[in-house]
Amino acid sequence: MSGTLVLVRHGQSDWNLKNLFTGWRDPDLTELGVEEAKRGGKALADYGIKFDIAFTSSLVRAQRTCQLVLDAVGQSSLETTRDQALNERDYGDLSGLNKDDARKKWGEEQVHIWRRSYDVPPPGGESLRDTGARVWPYYLTDILPRVLSGEKVLVAAHGNSLRALVMVLDRLTKEEVLNLNLATGVPMVYKLKSDSTVASKEVLGDMSGAH
Ligand SMILES: O=C(O)[C@@H](CO)OP(=O)(O)O
């Protein structure tokens, strides 16, 4: 058995609430988002984990979530690395548009393909594969070695940067990843084997409402 990797998607952001495509734009958490991050942190505190290092993106909604989780587990000053490799997928020309308006303009099916497919990028933006092309190398060089050395590692990031990681960890196909949605503030606790495959996965909360 090797170390532990905990993935948590940031709590609800102001633009999640307003139903806007966000990507690399940088809105803060809503009050509910703060509550969700605290709840995720409480679940991890109850689980009894103490982290060795935390990783987050260059965007404030993930950074605040990371800090709220660390506060909840009593590790407010833990070493935290921020890197834009963990940022949300770049939504390109869709950034700032309302998701329902986009469905009216381009159709439900097309918008779902842009949001959840593996390799179809939104106009001017990144597909999940493009997002993975920066998330996966960063995971291999900066995150995985820490886990394999037996450490407990927190990653607080975004819906699609984490979908790219979960796709690899859970060995999902391009078709299966279409239906993968991650809930805000719900920690996923992976224990990895020394060959870097998954020994166990526990979800500390309810993923069923994710969309
Ligand atoms: O707008 C975004 O950046 C993301 C995450 O909130 O949206 P979606 O769930 O549509 O990929």
**CATH for 4-203, options being 3.40.50.1240, 3.40.50.2300, 3.40.190.10, 3.50.50.60:** 3.40.50.1240
Segment 143-173, tens digit of pLDDT: 999 999 999 999 999 999 999 999 999 999 9
Percent residues over pLDDT 90 in the chain:
97
- β-pairing, 80-82 with 53-56? parallel
Backbone phi, then psi, for 89, in 5-degree steps? -55, 140
What is the ipTM score, two decimals?
Answer: 0.96
Please answer whether residues 10 and 33 qualify as being in contact, where contact means their C-beta atoms are separated by less than 8 angstroms.
yes
Nearest atom, ligand 1, residue 20 CA: 1
Give the residue with greater pLDDT, 63 vs 2. 63
Mean pLDDT in residue range 18-33: 98
Nearest atom, ligand 1, residue 88 CA: 3
Q: Is 106 exposed, middle or buried (0-12, 13-18, 19+ CB in 10 A)?
A: middle
What is the DSSP-derived secondary structure letter of residue 94?
G
For the chain, the structural domain boundaries read 4-203
pLDDT above 90 (res 84): yes
pLDDT at position 209 is 77
Q: Examine the residue annotation and report whether 35 is marked as an active-site residue of this protein.
A: no
Structure tokens at 75: 């590790």
Q: Examine the residue annotation and report whether 88 is marked as an active-site residue of this protein.
A: yes
In the structure, what pLDDT confidence band is assigned to residue 62 with cuts at 50, 70 and 90? very high
* 158 in a labelled binding site: no
Give the residue with greater pLDDT, 1 vs 186. 186
pTM, rounded to two decimals:
0.97
Ligand 1 in reach of 21 Cβ (< 6 A): yes
Q: Is 45 helix (H, G, I), strand (E, B) or coil?
A: helix
* 160 in a labelled binding site: yes
pLDDT at position 111 is 98
pLDDT at position 1 is 61
Structure tokens at 23: 């990507």
For residue 208, give the H/E element and its range: none
* Residue of minimum CA distance from atom 2 in ligand 1: 22
Structure tokens at 24: 């690399």
List Cα–Cα distances, 2 to 23, 40, 67, 146, 188, in angstroms. 33, 23, 25, 10, 16
Question: d(Cα 66, Cα 51) in Å, to the nearest integer?
Answer: 12
